[in-house]
Amino acid sequence: MPHRRLAALMTASTLATACASDVPEPKGPPLIPLPASVRMAEGTFSLEAGARIGLRAAGAAPVAEELARLLRRSTGYALPVVRQEAEITLEEASGRDLGPEGYTLDVTPGMVRLAASTPEGLFRGVQTLRQLLPAKVESAGEQPGPWTIAGLSIEDRPRFAYRGVMLDVARHFFTVEQVKRYIDLAVAYKVNHLHLHLTDDQGWRIEIKSWPRLATDGFYTQDDYREIVRYAAERFVTVVPEIDTPGHTNAALAAYAELNCDGRAREPYRGREVGFSSLCVGKEVTYRFLDDVVREMAELTPGPYLNLGGDEAHSTDPADYEKFVARAQRVVDKYGKRLMGWAEITSGAVAQHWNPREAERAVAAVARGAKLVMSPADRSYLDMKYTQDTEYGLDWAGLVEVADSYEWDPATLLAGVAEKDVLGVEAPLWTETLETPDALEYMAYPRLPGIAEIGWSPSSGRSWEDYKGRLAGHGPRWSAQSVNYYRSPEITWE
């Protein structure tokens, strides 16, 4: 307190001079996302064989167990979870509200103290703690120590509430286990939403009980989907299901002839063209279908959002499109969810900016009261090639090297869109060209952590020069987990 009073007495400029004349702070640890505040301190903590994990926060036993599980794998230590203060203590922040995801982390020679207002905040803090330990902590098998952490004090909370990844499981299907690994790798960077693109022209990947012919080949049963939702929730990740409408619907139009205006079923489609399919907006059966699908998805989904796509409806008459979206909005309302969609939808609770050539749609959505999730394709689309020679991916939005994907800010990217209009960021991974987990990882790493940092860290602390140094330290972490990442020449990998 006296300290704060002193600071308050100093003018901004004397304060700046006082700080500048101090010995320069030692360079902080290579954390991603960069925390809101890091202060280095004296001494070093060393995790020893007899250490315990102390749990003093209600509802956080699964978080403590998850930390223990992670550390046991590579250290080989027993690390029992005990209900008292211990060498690593997880506790409720006393006397102040750090927000739903905020935490403080203090490392001293005697102990590591992680505090938060919620179990979720503790979970985010655990991710920071992992990154403070040597990279080999990420190994699946036992490694030799030492397991030391330099003394420091962190206070952290996110800039934006929504930090998402999207996986297109329609163009190519990915199993529940593969999705779980994608979640595991992303939560290390404090990602908190998983948007699943479940349907498209090429396939319908979620069982709908009232329309059983939709999903026939490579799909999640409703139990599979529940398992993804459960696994994600355990890691404080909200699943956002997307049923793309009224375009990108060839799979549905092939399964049910009555959904077509001419009553004739379409042929199944395996190509890469977009914009050729549309639900029949004038037919009532379309809205019975929509109601059934939304009802079943709403029942399966605890999260607040239901995404109905709305992108590239080039085969839907514009007036029909408006009509369709208005009715879709009512159906989503009826089942207690909030409508989310790509920017074309220009209504609903949340619109997603994606096409750099059509920024005006995102601006229009804001004018109509929507919040934006920012996924500019020339920055955050993980399916864009890094260079001309990248083995996978597309290049319609340009080539996106690591620096390109990192050097932008959600609150200054679009004229007419300010910080208050932005709910957060998302890194979509479309899979027209991606068939294996190895290919997914190659496109996502190392770009995904940068998008996660843009969503979490204060913009004032971010710079490419600093970031690329921190990123270099993550290569060994991915190697320890056998992540197939792109060794971008922009980074001097450790």
How many positions of this chain bind ligand NGO (CB under 6 A)? Answer: 10
- Which of 296, 311, 378, 453 binds ligand NGO (CB under 6 A)? It is 311
| Interacting residue with ligand NGO among 207, 296, 383, 401 (CB under 6 A) | 383
Identity of the residue, 158 or 376, whose beta carbon is nearer to ligand NGO in the bound complex: 376
Residue 120 known to be catalytic: no
**Active-site option among 85, 91, 312, 322:** 312
Is position 381 an interface residue for ligand NGO (rule: CB under 6 A)? yes
Query: 112-116 and 88-92 as β-strands: parallel, antiparallel, unpaired?
Result: parallel
Q: Which of 45, 220, 342, 478 binds ligand NGO (CB under 6 A)?
A: 342
Does residue number 435 form part of the binding site for ligand NGO (CB under 6 A)? no
Interface with ligand NGO includes 81 (CB under 6 A)?
no
Here's the x/- map for ligand NGO, 118-157, by CB under 6 A: it reads as ----------------------------------------
395: contact with ligand NGO by CB under 6 A: no
Taking CB positions, which residue lies at the least distance from ligand NGO?
430
Shorter beta-carbon distance to ligand NGO: residue 182 or 430? 430
Stretch 257-286 residues interacting with ligand NGO (CB under 6 A): 274
Asked if 68 contacts 60 with a C-beta cutoff of 8 angstroms, the reply is: no
CB of 102 to ligand NGO, least distance (A): 32
- Count the alpha carbons within 13 Å of 265 in the hemisphere toward its beta carbon: 11
Rounded CA-CA distance 156/86 in Å is 22
Shortest separation between residue 254's beta carbon and ligand NGO, angstroms: 17
Is residue 174 at the binding interface for ligand NGO, with CB under 6 A as the rule?
A: no
Check residue 399 for interaction with ligand NGO (CB under 6 A): no
Neighbouring residues of 294: CB distance < 8 A, sequence distance ≥ 6? 243, 306, 308, 328, 331, 332, 334, 335, 337
Q: How far is the CB of 83 from ligand NGO (least distance, A)?
A: 48
Nearer to ligand NGO, 120 or 383 (CB): 383
Interface with ligand NGO (CB under 6 A), residue from 227, 312, 395, 404: 312
Does 386 participate in binding ligand NGO (rule CB under 6 A)?
Answer: no
Distance, CA of 320 to CA of 428 (rounded, Å): 28
Residue placing its CB nearer to ligand NGO in the complex, 265 or 394:
394
Give the residues lining the site for ligand NGO (CB under 6 A): 274, 311-312, 342, 354, 381, 383, 394, 430, 432
List active site positions.
312
